[in-house]
Amino acid sequence: MIARDLIKNVSAILPFNLSVWAAKPHTVAVFYHTICKQTSAHIKHLYPIVTPVQFEKDLDFLLKYFEPIDLKDYIAHPTPSMGSKPRLLLSFDDGFREIKTIASPILLAKGIPATAFVNPDFVGNNDMLYRCKASLIVDKAMLQGKTIATPPAARQVFPTERVSTSKFCRWIMALGFGQQDLISELAANFDVDIGCYLREQKPYLNLDEVIELSNKGFTVGAHSLNHPNFANLSLTEQIRQVKDSLSWVTSFVPNQPKAFAFPFTNYGLSADFYRYFFSENPEICDVFFGTSGYKPTSTHRFTHRTSLEVKGRSAKQILKGEFYYYLAKMIFNRHKVNIPL
């Protein structure tokens, strides 16, 4: 990780053109979560936001170097024609409402296709990603100053009367998918009403909005049912999360490609998982997407994406770092990602 950051920092002074010329990407996949003017409490403590102004700048830059491509075209033609610009696949994870209200009008005006990867359990604001719940609690805790009275649900971990707010918040943000009962207890301790927040703020798209996006030419893919960390699931549950979320898309949104973006990361998946979907049951999913940056793999059916949400960095700076890091790995022949098929 240190080498990665070092190379990315050094690459800041090197030209972008050179990185594209040397890395010769044929497809670059990038993703955001949301585009908004001001951050909301449910994402405030998760990742930096990209404003509409920065988003437009990113897109104008991307259009100079890359040819945006629709996900259906990518699946139909995984290899680009000779001599064309590198292709760009743009996507949004988690199905937040701003994809429709803010991002889609900008993308339609510029003629850029994109894919929304949604979690069926969150569409319609019936539930929320557990990390968004944690962000709401942290937001409330931080209002109380440098220390807080230790909430009852945290007494086992912090046995003192009061606890440092920053220490407490770091602990909450590190809680996992399997600790959602504890997150619910903590929310109650802080009078954070998740149901009320979902009803009033409506952070996620509802089904009508998802269908409206698809009618306007956006594609819709699956992002698991409820956003677990796959590394902590059994193979059976991993398969269920992929199959059932893809079935949901097929059932409710007409004419969509079968595309799945891993929640968090694909890190830790077994060869059995890949064998199940790539060799034994290839009809279930056309293409999987990871989140490991610019990292070409041995099959177009598994494509890694680069997050364009990095504090203080534009799309140009982020992608330049990715390409130079890829080139550095090439020197040591560590740039190839083999997906076991």
Q: How far is the CB of 84 from Zn ion (least distance, A)?
A: 30
Q: Tell me whether residue 93 or residue 139 sits nearer to Zn ion (CB atom).
A: 93
Q: How far is the CB of 255 from Zn ion (least distance, A)?
A: 24
How many residues sit close enough to Zn ion to count as binding (CB under 5 A)? 3
Taking CB under 5 A as the criterion, which residues in 33-92 touch Zn ion?
none
Which residue is at the shortest CB distance from Zn ion?
Answer: 93
SS3 category, 173: helix
The yes or no reply on residue 127 touching Zn ion (CB under 5 A) is no
Site stretch for Zn ion (CB under 5 A), options 140-148, 245-253, 259-267, 282-290: 259-267
Distance CA 201, CA 9 (A): 38
HSE at residue 339, side-chain half, CA atoms within 13 A, is 24
Q: Tell me whether residue 119 or residue 214 sits nearer to Zn ion (CB atom).
A: 119
The yes or no reply on residue 94 touching Zn ion (CB under 5 A) is yes
Rg (CA), the chain: 21
Site stretch for Zn ion (CB under 5 A), options 35-43, 157-165, 245-253, 263-271: 263-271
Q: How far is the CB of 173 from Zn ion (least distance, A)?
A: 15
The yes or no reply on residue 263 touching Zn ion (CB under 5 A) is yes
Sign of CA dihedral 247, 248, 251, 256: negative
Distance CA 128, CA 193 (A): 12
Q: Which residues contact 128 (CB under 8 A, 6 or more apart)?
A: 42, 122, 194, 197, 198, 203, 204
Q: How far is the CB of 131 from Zn ion (least distance, A)?
A: 9
Distance CA 280, CA 302 (A): 16
- Residue 204's CB: how many other CB atoms inside 10 A? 26
**Which residues would be at the binding site for Zn ion (CB under 5 A)?**
93-94, 263
